[in-house]
Amino acid sequence: MRVEVAGENALILYFSDEVSEASSAYIYAMTQALEALIGKGVIDLVPSYASLLIIFDHNVYDYYSLKQYISKAKAVIDQTRIASGNSTDSIEAPTITLPVYYGTEAGPDLEELARNAQLTTEEVIAIHQAGLYQVYAIGFAPGFAFLGQVDERIAAPRKSTPRKAVPKGAVAIADRQTAVYPSVSPGGWNLIGLCPVPMFDAEKTPSMPLATGNKVKFEAISKAEFIAMGGEL
C-alpha cells in the first residue's frame, strides 16, 4: 500500500497497480476500518478500482496523525487475516441481489448482443444472472456502480453512438463491465433489462444500496413483478 498527498486536506491510498477482486476486497475492508477508527474528522472516503481517497477536516487531523490511523487500520485488517488464515481474497463484503426484468421490451440491445455473441437471448440472460459481480467503483453519476467481470461470452463494446437518454434502472453491459443506470442520462452501454430498485436516493441513509467492495447478483423477474416493485417501462 502506498500513501500519497492528494491536496491540502486529502490523502490517497494506492493498493495495487492492477484491478482485481483481491484489491477491491482490501479497499472495502480498509474503508470500513477507517470509518470505525477516525469518525467525524473525515469528510469523505472515496474508494475506487485500486485506490482510496481520504478527505479530512484539517482542524481535526493532519497528515501525520491520519497516517497513524491508516497504519492502525492496516494492522487490524492484517491481524484479522492472519488469525483466521484468510487471504485478502477472503475479506467478506455483503452480497446484494438485484432483480431484473430482462427482455427486448426492457432491453432494446438484448437481441443484437445475443446475435453478435452467437447465443440466444435466453442464454445471454442466463449467463448474465449466473455471474457474481464485484463493485469496483461508483462514479459517472451518483449511484452508478461499475461491476465486473462480465463473462467473456456476453462482453460487448460500447455503442459507437451513445443514446441521448438511457432510462432509469437500465441494466447494461460495456466490455466486461455491467451496471444499472441510477437515473435518466446519456449512455453508450448495451441495454439488456430493467431493475426496479433505486440506485440512489439522497433522502435515505445510506443513499445507495451498493458500495465499493460489495458483491452483486442479478435475479430475473417477470414483467408483472417488475411493475409491482415500482418499475416503469
- Most confident range (mean pLDDT) of 89-103, 125-139, 199-213 is 125-139
Sorted by where each starts, the structural domains of the chain and their CATH numbers stand as 2-90 (3.30.1360.40), 95-228 (2.40.100.10)
pLDDT at 56 > cutoff 70: yes
Count CB atoms within 10 A of the CB of residue 71. Answer: 12
**Phi-psi category of residue 202: left, alpha or beta, with phi > 0 → left and psi -120 to 50 → alpha:** alpha
Q: What is the pLDDT of the chain when averaged over all its residues? A: 92
How far apart (Å, rounded) are the C-alpha atoms in residues 70 and 75? Answer: 9
Q: In angstroms, what is the C-alpha Rg of the chain?
A: 19
Confidence of residue 91 (pLDDT cuts 50, 70, 90): low
Q: 220 is written with which cell numbers?
A: 430475473
pLDDT at 96 > cutoff 70: yes
Residue 64 per-residue DSSP state: H
Which single residue is written with the C-alpha cell 433505486? 198
pLDDT at 85 > cutoff 80: no
Give buried/exposed letters for 43-55 (b at 16+ CB in 10 A, else e): eebbbbbbbbebe
Q: Please, are residues 214 and 96 in contact by the beta-carbon 8 Å criterion?
A: yes
For 134-183, write each residue's pLDDT tens digit: 999 998 889 999 999 999 999 999 999 999 999 999 999 999 999 999 99
pLDDT of 19: 80
The whole-number average pLDDT for the span 2-28 is 88
